[in-house]
Chains A and B, each alone.
Chain A
Amino acid sequence: MSSPILKLIAQRIALGLLLLFAVSVLIFVGTQILPGDVAQSILGQSATAESLANLREALGLNDPAYIRYLKWLGGILTGNLGTALSSGQDIASAIGGRLWNTLFLAFWAAVVSVPLAIGLGLLAVRYRNGFIDKLISGLALASTSLPEFFIGYLLVYFFAVQWQIFPGISTVYDGMPFLERMKAIALPATALTLVVLAHMMRMTRAAILNVMQSAYIETAELKGLSPFEIIRKHAFPNAIAPVVNVVTLNLAYLIVGVVVVEVIFVYPGMGQYLVDHVAKRDVPVVQAVGLIFAAVYITLNMIADIAAILANPRLRHPK
């Protein structure tokens, strides 16, 4: 591999890191702007002036903001995310389990949805403008157009209440047997799949169709290749950059955008964890989760960009 491409990739990674740093500042500032403070939120209606003062003192909320930012950043760089103000638990270990749950669900949703979306996209191109294409596009668009909570409730109504095939609540815990765990996440994974399917499918279809207009596809047709062979050998590799882009974008969504699905299926993931702590003004947790989400997003986008760079033959084989 040549140096210009390495340089490009290195630049892209450096940019990602810089972005992450900027996000950390933004997150910190954002959490400072929120109304009310954590002591008030923890005590809620039962707050009295003295219990508030006691709690603020105990939580170290009286330091100036920049000192708290530097302390926080230093902690993160040394792998210490601090302790949750509201429950006193170590954030890193609490997030660990939650993050793993979220990744587990996202992974299986991706395993189902990505090949399915690309496969359906290829199929739609093969039979473009025909009945199959319209059927695939129609169903996928319909499932995306329905709000995810509605899809969730439909799945619960039929699969959990009416037929009782899968559990309607997806509580998973450590030491749960693998098969039971898979059964528990069946419905949320299905809901997520339905939500992200259309975007990836449509993008695959559009990207490949775009390539299909090129002269070399005509050549391939003229040399007698079958339609699927043309798509597989000539069209798809050249459409990979936009497809990878939309796939990673959806992967990021599977990880950071699943709050609603987690709430409906009572799945103990990061989204639910974040929402609980925003409500409690538990700033260290909100900051840590926000940063992890940002990191996931930035990393996946970076991977998409790098894949696009690598997929570009002009960059791979410079003259």
Chain B
Amino acid sequence: MTTELDHLARLAVRGGISRRDFLGRAAALGVTAAMAGTLADRAFAQTPVKGGILKAGLQGGESTNNLDPATNLSQVTFNFCKQWGEFLNRLNPDGSLENMIAEEIGSSDDAKTWTIKVRDGIEFHNGKTVKAEDVLATLERHADEKSKSGALGVLKNIKAMKAEGREVIVSLAEPDADFPYLMADYHLVIQPNGGKDDPNAGISAGPYKVKVNEPGVRHGGERFANYWGGDKLGHADQVEIVVINDATARLAALQGGQVHFINRVEPKVVNLVKRVPGVSVEATSGRGFYPFNMFCDTAPFDNADLRMALKLAMDRDELLSKILFGYGSLGNDFPINAAYPLFPEGLEQRKFDPEKAAELYKKSGHSGSILLRTSDVAFPGAVDAAQLYQQSCAKAGIKIEIKREPGDGYWSEVWNKKPFSLSYWGGRATQAQMYATALVSTAEWNDTRFKRPEFDQLLMKARGELDQDKRKVLFHDMATLVRDEGGVIVPFFNQFIDAAATSKIDGWVANPQGEMMDGYALGACWLKA
């Protein structure tokens, strides 16, 4: 019993279970409520240890990287940004929003005018105080049509902005109840004067100051003494990210004790890594998924029966176990999973049904083979996934011809250009944002050419609706429409698989928003005393 209790306490400390779960499960072990309460207090009140150097070995850094958050794309810059950068708000592991630089983000009744109140007394690394003007300038820079910002799409809806005292007032062209979620976008690092003077300066108000910036090699930060959040983040004296793009080298660095964290553990080696003493594998369900995209407006995929036949001919269980080795969850042909707030429950899970698929395929009247394009860069295992799909389609009498495209230029020549191909999506902060990026008629990245006025209207309604229950119904309708009539086949959602040297560090909390605790691992974890 004691070992189980120890295990529970450890889970609790790491945030693996909530206090309520802890008390419940401890009671199930026969621990008296009073004792469990004390234990819980001890476990949950464990205070971070200060000092030391925390190191992460991460995939996804190139010597072409820079510090401009607008061009922030790969994992290393993403993670480093979360150390030195500070945001208006951030998403908690449970999907709720936590205000950071923003003290409050409030809306008018029609969700068209939003007021961001800037917290008092936050200091930039250069000693200046964060003002409403800096926030305004940041939003302006990222919303500029000429900018290369990855947040441009998110901010397109902004019609006008102004700063008044401690407030930034944003007027939207269309109502959007999700506006605060959009502000948590990882590009929107608040910089002095919005980074307009020098976007690459690496100055913001995060827990660490940029100390080393060698793109493609390593990045280092040093604790910022005047960090506004106090003990919220930034326990280690220094943090360091070493760029290790080779999966084997990454693992060796963790095993050899040169780094405390690594990202992107390959699913096929997870079971081996689990056996390494002192290391724990942290697999977290995220919002990323690997779709098979059909263009709804291009023959033969303009036929609804054929689309459904291709969806039913997908053996999802097989793909999940053979491609992701079980480290994922089944998809249901719409791009949303339970990691999103207001997830539409009760939609039946689509299953492999070769008979029904064969029947619909006959009904569609199509003959001959169907060309499916794939490439290693679409996602790890994409070529194998296409081959497995080819076999399961054969069981339904559907002939798939696979074309393996070169990785070079896959995103420019194949994805969103060819009518049937494999791809990946990282997911977005909210359902409305995901739909607006990938499924609304006018979206540039509508990679299934799903153009349905009724769907667009539903989305419009959902964006303007502040009542959460009503929104949930709208999202349910949208999901149903995409699932049954759309052109996207979603076999599975993936998981972020990170690994941490838990014999040396503490403080890990699973976070579905992104890998490495949504990038906060270095700032939120600490070295054990």
Contacts and interface: CB of A to CB of B under 8 A. Distances in A.
A148 B413 CA distance: 34
Interface residues of A, number: 46
A87 B411 contact: no
B252 A87 contact: no
B146 interface: yes
Interface in A261-293: 263-266, 268, 272-273, 276-277, 279-280, 282
B76 to A, nearest CB: 12
B218 interface: yes
B457 interface: no
Interface in B431-479: 444
B66 A50 contact: no
Given A45-B411, A88-B200, A171 B64 contact: no
B63 A272 contact: yes
Contacts of A55: 148
Interface stretch (A152-160, A198-206, A247-255): A152-160
* Interface SS of chain B: loop
A87 B413 contact: no
Contacts of B62: 276, 279-280
A122 B444 CA distance: 68
Interface string A45-62: 111111100110000000
A49 B71 CA distance: 16
Contact of B444 (A48, A54, A157): A48
A139 interface: no
A266 B63 contact: no
Contacts of B256: 156, 160-161, 164, 167-168
Nearest to A163: B256
A30 B214 CA distance: 29
B408 A36 contact: yes
Nearest to B212: A173
Contacts of B409: 35-36, 40
Contact of A88 (B66, B145, B244): B66
Given A84-B64, A273-B63, A36 B413 contact: yes
Contacts of A264: 246, 248-249
A288 B180 CA distance: 45
B148 A161 contact: no
Nearest to A85: B64
Interface of B: 57, 62-66, 71, 73, 145-146, 148, 150, 152-153, 200, 212, 214-218, 242-246, 248-249, 252-253, 255-259, 408-409, 411-413, 415, 444
Interface of A: 35-36, 40-51, 54-55, 84, 86-89, 94, 98, 153, 156-157, 160-161, 164, 167-169, 171, 173, 263-266, 268, 272-273, 276-277, 279-280, 282
Given A87-B63, A273-B63, 18 more contacts: A35-B409, A35-B413, A36-B412, A36-B413, A44-B73, A46-B73, A54-B146, A84-B64, A160-B253, A167-B256, A168-B252, A168-B258, A169-B252, A173-B218, A266-B243, A266-B246, A268-B214, A277-B64
12 contacts: A35-B408, A42-B71, A50-B145, A86-B64, A89-B215, A156-B252, A168-B252, A169-B57, A263-B246, A266-B249, A268-B214, A268-B216
Q: List 4 tightest A-B contacts by C-beta distance, closest first.
A: A86-B64, A168-B252, A276-B62, A268-B217
